[in-house]
Amino acid sequence: MKMKKVLAAGVFDLLHYGHIRYLEEAKKLGGLGARLTVIVARDETVRRMKGQDPVIPEDQRRATVEALKVVDEALLGFEDLDLDRVIQQVKPDIVAVGHDQDAIRSQVEKIKRAKEMGFEIVQVGRFGEDDLNSSSKIKRRIVEGARTRA
């Protein structure tokens, strides 16, 4: 039986439990012995997508993600957010997208159709109702806490 390759992607600024659950679920999609490759967004890509710099620099975010035991390999994305090139490089059997990655999902679907590729696209669900399930919410909580203590 062929080992399945799973591809996941994200910013991973202020790594939190939602990120870990997303990556665990992504790897599970490939079954026993699956290999999980994670693409970490470049600082410039984050600036373009979110209009602000990430808190943690790209090289540290990549190293932190790769240090997670569920991750087999973490790579920095291409500066031009070229998902087609990423898919050509990794050659995944499954592309796992997060619950909040609709834009990425539609891009990957277009690439799959245009290139007539056989990989599967799976959107992983949200984990828990926790108010700290995104880096943006964590940053907001930190700022609010600093204001109340000031």
CATH, residue 144: 3.40.50.620
- 132 pLDDT higher than 90: no
- 150 pLDDT higher than 70: no
User: pLDDT value at position 62?
Assistant: 97
Rounded Cα distance, 81 and 39, in Å: 10
Tally of domains within the chain? 1
Q: In this structure, what are the phi and psi dihedrals at residue 98, rounded to the nearest 5 degrees? A: -75, 165
User: pLDDT value at position 138?
Assistant: 62
User: pLDDT value at position 101?
Assistant: 87
- Its pTM stands at 0.85
3-state secondary structure of 98: coil
Q: What is the mean pLDDT of residues 36-57?
A: 92
Residue type, 64: T
Number of H helices, E strands in the chain: 6, 5
Measured from the Cβ of residue 124, the count of other Cβ atoms closer than 10 Å reads 19
Residue type, 20: I
pLDDT range class, residue 71, cuts 50, 70, 90: very high
Segments forming the whole domain that contains residue 109: 5-149
